[in-house]
Structure 1
Amino acid sequence: MSESTGRHTPAAGGVQPLLELRDLDTDIALRRGTVHALDGVSLQVMPGETLGVVGESGSGKTMTALSIMGLLPPGGQVAGGQILFEGRDLRALPPDEVRRIRGVRMGMVFQDPLTSLNPTMRIGVQVGEPLRVHERVGRAEARERTIEILRRVGMPRPERIVDNYPHELSGGMRQRVAIAMALVCSPRLLIADEPTTALDVTTQRQILELIDDLREEFGMAVVLVTHDLGVIAGRADRVAVMYAGRVVETAATAELFRSPRHRYTQALMQALPESAVRESGEHARLYSIPGLPPDLSRPLTGCRFAPRCRHVTDECRSTEVTLSAGAHQHACLHPVPAESAAPVSPPAPVRVEPVPQPAGAAAGPGEPAAEPVLSVRNLVKNYAAHGRGLLRRTAGQVSAVAGVSFDVGPGETFGLVGESGCGKSTVGRLAVGLEQPTAGQILLDGTDIAGLAGRERRRMHRQVQLMFQDSYAAMNPRMRVDAILAEPLEIQKVGGTAERRARIATLLDQVGLSRRVLERYPHEFSGGQLQRIGLARSLALQPRLIVGDEPVSALDVSIQAQVLNLMRDLQRELGLAYVFISHDLSVVDYMADRIGVMYLGKLVEVGPARDVVRAARHPYTQALIDAVPTVTPNPAAARDGVTIRGELPSALNPPTGCRFRTRCPLAQDVCATEPPLAGDAHQVACHFPLRPESTAASARAGAAA
């Protein structure tokens, strides 16, 4: 049995690896030179095993997967080493034979199924294409086998789905289609490249459990590529940590998470929000890995992590370090001591002091509470749904937001969480005035912004700004950073040219960027740098409230830590209020003072962050908590707790009463009537709320009863 997962792992003795990489080198030729993306990568994947490959963006984990599959980008080539699959070197075989092996014996699931699926082809044609190309089956047989594989990956109504196009499916359903396409020829090896990065936690859990189940059913091996350490901890048998094109540590999963040896692995774990919360019991400053990964187009000497390591010595900068021998291998001259306790706890956590309140805002004994910066009252947003055809008649209304109310005080962070499609981003767009509500009020410092127009509406935008999930998409790619930061000042006619330049310089200092970035374009920055520029732009008009719509969801854990620390620093310095929108409860738990949990347009639970996360009252909230992957290597717990199944119901025809009842393990007939959001500081909208001392086990007991 595997130490890390409790599932069967083939014994090493006498069993040949299914896949073995030996000193693999991969180069990417660019105009400015050659990027040495992989440098001497050696890995083994045993039959039936799951190998997790983890690291920051640019570490080489995706390039390793693409090298195996022969799908390198233009200019890419495997420059050296061997790729042994079932004992045969793929580099030495004829191209036709390699294509057949990679099409039948190997399958790959890509990070973004929407871009990897052909938008002009129906689902059935795309999933069945490998059968027709490699097995020469007829159209009718391919359709029948496609329906069967879609059913086996948990796709609802596969007979209808085969005739749909990719854009007609949700993100989770598209990912199931991508998995079905990879499995339709029954491969022995499945490579999953960030298969759940863009998914919310409940859909992520379903996809990961699906891959686990299919692995056991098909008897295949899995290479799981991800930057999410929690996913690796709960699903992999062994882990390989990559940095700057090399494997720097590899071990059994439980061993690596119990006692990481390489300083880079330790730093990744310390950057996790859950590590800071676990260590302090309250908000502590996240450990942030300084600097950036090295430029792989330049010659490198010594340990590649040395410029960012807290324990670096002159020897590290000059000595090439190879992986040590044994079951737990690492390439570090000054490894973490094997007996080191609590390796995921951040060193000397820095307490985050309470946000300084404006004069007169704090409520002392007998004093009135501070007036909220933002008050949302009975907010409703409906969209007209149109039918198909030339006339496109109205077919009903999509209930995106249905009676949402909450307050955000000065200097407070209100976290808004829920699955994709729950309406949280719509609330964010309404709060900043990008959309008009169907009903209800949005009070900014007591003024209803829904009724503002013209100059008053422009003035309102000085007080509230939006921080987008994808900063690159939110910026004009033809504008330099200086023009991007100056634009809101020019639109609002703030100051003259000299004053605006001074303001931009201040903004760059606040977000920790050099003046040199002003002459560059958005495509020249990393994701973390772009998010800093997006934050600087949102601060340009000195707002009182910033709405962050999934501002760190696409970032590596180390870059995420930098952005979260920066946001909290600026909150303390400037007294900012945040509405922090995310599907990641561990991030919201770290950032928020209070949390509101949304489901299908309604708030189902609102309360102090610690109470909501540690003593959830609503079954849906508990299900979200149970679905969050953690670095604690306890795969059994990953399948326990409150589990919700199926897709989110359509907002065009939401369930009556409690909208969660169709997926709730505790639902009874009375749930068909709508429960009120009731309580004092901790409110819940549920006919059968979990008791404060309830755990996931008690919820399961209630479901069984």
Structure 2
Amino acid sequence: MEVPSEPLLRLRGLSTDIALRRGTVHALDQVDLEVNQGETLGIVGESGSGKTMTVLSVMGLLPSGGSVVGGEILFDGRDLRTMEAAELRRVRGVEMGMVFQDPLTSLNPTMRIGAQVAEPLRVHQKVSKAEARERAVEILRRVGMPRPDKIVDDYPHQLSGGMRQRVVIAMALIRSPRLLIADEPTTALDVTTQRQILELIDDLREEFKMAVILVTHDLGVIAGRADRVAVMYAGRVVETATTAELFRAPRHRYTEALMRALPESAADGRLYSIPGLPPDLSRPLTGCRFAPRCGFATDECRTTDVTLTGDGHAFACLHPVTEPVAIAASAGHGRAASGAAAEPILTVRDLVKEYDAGGAGLRRTAGRVSAVAGVSFEVRPGETLGIVGESGCGKSTVGRLVAGLEAPTGGRIVVDGTDLAGLDRRARHRMHREVQLMFQDSYAAMNPRMRIDSILTEPLEIQQVGDAAARRARVSELLDQVGLPRRALERYPHEFSGGQLQRIGLARSLALRPRLIVADEPVSALDVSVQAQVLNLMRDLQGELGLSYVFISHDLSVVDYMADRIGVMYLGKLVEVGPAGQVVRAPRHPYTQALLDAVPSPDPGHTPSPDTTIRGELPSALNPPTGCRFRTRCPLAQDVCATEPVLEGGAHQVACHFPLRLEQD
């Protein structure tokens, strides 16, 4: 790629403050960045590193109390900070576009899709409604939206997560911007949809000849998509280089720590986690901001303000990395199944869950949604069964059924010899002592008006466990188990970080001493280092307490690390079940192979095969395909696939008429 003489966007000494009641947070401090026309710059770092605050400063979308207090924001040589308000609105509304992390909260729930996509045209170009609708349909078609002429009349809640993300991309592109900013555009998406969205951004970059800033905490996304990378920590850029150079030879100790925390880099069966917490940016800071968490820091690091140095590959570190960081893609960390001879603690047989679909007009229902269709599996004491699949595959529904939050339509759920379906309400209530659910969003699962003391005590009170003194002792024990201080009991949920909230959620699920925990996407929203801390804690407690887990996730690298066995679900059915190492290294179902190939690899040289890309949207569970439900998207499908395959094959089972060859074949 030919690099222009002058960058399209240049940040010089950018400093941003956020004024709060308790003081001023210095969110950005002397940030220098450049983005060339047609280039993709990746910005990576933990939550609170300043990566999102950087792009919000560029777009003028800072939160309440936020202001740029120093530096320059040069777009095509023009300083956005000195522009007149009208010109600034035109530049930010026409020449720049932004894709936000959560498309549902970015879209107006009361406006139809077509009106929202066309809104930038109506505001900046004053086109007619008819022309705006026509242009909206065209841009939706260009971003790969199925049936765009119909979608324009829908509302956001009627679309899937991947479709909503395509809508916000269309909104950002309808004015053909020169710069597209994508802030965590795939964080909440499963791996197949994530791959489609990232490939779409790549294709549109080529088509529109635009620059892209890709903000993410996922190093695999950065490795496969960015030309250059900027690593941020505590409001500063600590390292910048070409993507290939950064992954080949990272120099800053923070960059090294992020790479070591990847599930692919697990050594001796354990993930590396960065000790400590990022600094409080409302307080004066001296020296290297990473020094308190760095194992190589010296007194000089704590007192010297280190700045970026280097030509091309710049870093701010007095004791830089000298050896490459080893990252093994699909290393296969799945454990040998434990407790293989013991009786199962959980047995699920022919589990079915159907829902009535709402109908229009006087019709009460429009049919039955087949969420779970004949699923069977077992979990033994001390074992972890991982369940993976795309959004809408039914994995979370299985988790809610096992945890007793919903009643099955058919089949059996046997916990420690007791069939839940045959229990009355009171007996099912008592079974919650045996099975607990760990939620994906711990904050949403907690009462914001209750202190942590009350949140942890509540299940003990409901189940009438012990007296007040015994409950206090149990809560203190729980805090010790999950590594939180006693003073946490006096605080409210909003006062904790995401990782701390997940620890509290785990503590609550342990309160009644269950034998089985259903963990539904427990680390999907966490940074890689915090994710490592929570996963290590879960495995430690499993060994200490003899817990069994049903671990639900769309991230195969995480499930590979956690699980003894893995079950792969597609549209309500299990299509493959086997030992974790075999499923990851020698998948037998084409869908499993496609999921593995869609996982972003922390290897810039890795190129996934286009032959394994899953095309199109997941079929509707209201009217699923006959036979093999994957056949409408499978590259191997033939006429025989219209008949349903049986899940078979011993320890490593597959439901496919044309299974992939085993590794040893």
Give me the whole-angstrom Cα distance separating, in 2, the residues matched to 1:74 and 1:332.
34
Give me the whole-angstrom Cα distance separating, in 2, the residues matched to 1:354 and 1:613.
13
In the alignment, does 2:502 pair up with 1:531? yes
Deviation at 1:392, TM superposition (A): 4.4
- 2:143 match: 153
Unaligned 5+ runs, structure 2: none
Specify which of 410, 414, 420 is matched with residue 381 of structure 2. 410
Could you tell which deviates more after superposition, 581-590 or 447-456?
447-456
Match of 2:171, SS?
helix
Distance 1:353 1:605, change over 3 A: closer
* Correspondences of 1:536-685 after superposition (within 5 Å): 536-635=507-606, 637-685=607-655
Q: Does the 8 A contact of 1:10 with 1:47 survive in 2?
A: no
* Correspondences of 1:445-484 after superposition (within 5 Å): 445-484=416-455
Give me the whole-angstrom Cα distance separating, in 2, the residues matched to 1:120 and 1:22.
40
Match of 1:461, SS?
helix
- 1:701 match: none
Q: Does the 8 A contact of 1:354 with 1:572 survive in 2?
A: no
Q: Does the 8 A contact of 2:571 with 2:629 survive in 1?
A: yes
Deviation at 1:354, TM superposition (A): 7.9
- 1:36 match: 26
The amino acid across from 1:472 in the alignment is Y
- 1:373 match: 345
Give me the whole-angstrom Cα distance separating, in 1, the residues matched to 2:549 and 2:110.
41
Deviation at 1:370, TM superposition (A): 0.8
Deviations 1:332-383 (A, max 9, x none): 010001xx1344479xx9x99989x7xxxx56xxxxx210010000000000
Specify which of 86, 94, 114 is matched with residue 96 of structure 1. 86
Match of 1:459, SS?
helix
Distance 1:182 1:352, change over 3 A: closer
The amino acid across from 1:11 in the alignment is V
Match of 1:638, SS?
coil
In the alignment, does 2:8 pair up with 1:11? no
Give me the whole-angstrom Cα distance separating, in 2, the residues matched to 1:104 and 1:221.
14
The amino acid across from 1:144 in the alignment is E
- 1:135 match: 125
- 1:330 match: 315
The amino acid across from 1:689 in the alignment is P
Give me the whole-angstrom Cα distance separating, in 2, the residues matched to 1:202 and 1:76.
36
In the alignment, does 2:324 pair up with 1:341? yes
Deviations 1:76-95 (A, max 9, x none): 10000000001100111101
Specify which of 658, 673, 689 is matched with residue 659 of structure 2. 689
Give me the whole-angstrom Cα distance separating, in 1, the residues matched to 2:334 and 2:177.
50
- 2:274 match: 289
Give me the whole-angstrom Cα distance separating, in 1, the residues matched to 2:664 and 2:353.
34
Deviation at 1:10, TM superposition (A): 2.6
Q: Does the 8 A contact of 2:334 with 2:581 survive in 1?
A: no
Deviations 1:98-137 (A, max 9, x none): 1100000000000000000000000010100101111111
Match of 2:626, SS?
coil
- 1:6 match: none
Deviations 1:162-189 (A, max 9, x none): 1000000000000000000000000000
Give me the whole-angstrom Cα distance separating, in 2, the residues matched to 1:81 and 1:314.
30
Give me the whole-angstrom Cα distance separating, in 2, the residues matched to 1:610 and 1:129.
50
In the comparison of the two structures, how many residue pairs are matched?
663
The amino acid across from 1:388 in the alignment is A
The amino acid across from 1:376 in the alignment is V
Give me the whole-angstrom Cα distance separating, in 1, the residues matched to 2:371 and 2:129.
40
Deviation at 1:260, TM superposition (A): 0.6
Deviations 1:372-429 (A, max 9, x none): 010000000000112123x341111000000000000000000000000000000000
Which consecutive segments of 4 or more residues in structure 1 shift more than 2 A? 9-12, 341-346, 351-355, 638-641
In the alignment, does 2:68 pair up with 1:78? yes
The amino acid across from 2:319 in the alignment is H
Give me the whole-angstrom Cα distance separating, in 2, the residues matched to 1:525 and 1:132.
42
Distance 1:353 1:168, change over 3 A: closer
Unaligned 5+ runs, structure 1: 1-8, 364-368, 696-705
Deviation at 1:459, TM superposition (A): 1.8
TM-score, with length taken from structure 1: 0.92
Give me the whole-angstrom Cα distance separating, in 1, the residues matched to 2:510 and 2:25.
36
In the alignment, does 2:247 pair up with 1:257? yes
Superposition CA RMSD, Å:
1.6
* Correspondences of 1:353-364 after superposition (within 5 Å): 362=339
Give me the whole-angstrom Cα distance separating, in 2, the residues matched to 1:27 and 1:139.
41
Q: Does the 8 A contact of 2:229 with 2:240 survive in 1?
A: yes
Give me the whole-angstrom Cα distance separating, in 1, the residues matched to 2:324 and 2:7.
34
Give me the whole-angstrom Cα distance separating, in 2, the residues matched to 1:566 and 1:509.
12
The amino acid across from 1:10 in the alignment is E
Q: Does the 8 A contact of 1:260 with 1:343 survive in 2?
A: no
The amino acid across from 1:54 in the alignment is V
- 1:209 match: 199
Distance 1:93 1:374, change over 3 A: same
Deviation at 1:442, TM superposition (A): 0.2
- 2:223 match: 233
Deviation at 1:640, TM superposition (A): 3.7
Give me the whole-angstrom Cα distance separating, in 2, the residues matched to 1:95 and 1:218.
27
- 2:481 match: 510
Deviation at 1:641, TM superposition (A): 5.0
Give me the whole-angstrom Cα distance separating, in 2, the residues matched to 1:353 and 1:122.
49
Deviations 1:29-57 (A, max 9, x none): 10111110000000000010000000000
The amino acid across from 1:419 in the alignment is E
The amino acid across from 1:313 in the alignment is T
Distance 1:547 1:119, change over 3 A: same
Deviation at 1:634, TM superposition (A): 2.2
% of aligned pairs identical? 78
- 1:195 match: 185
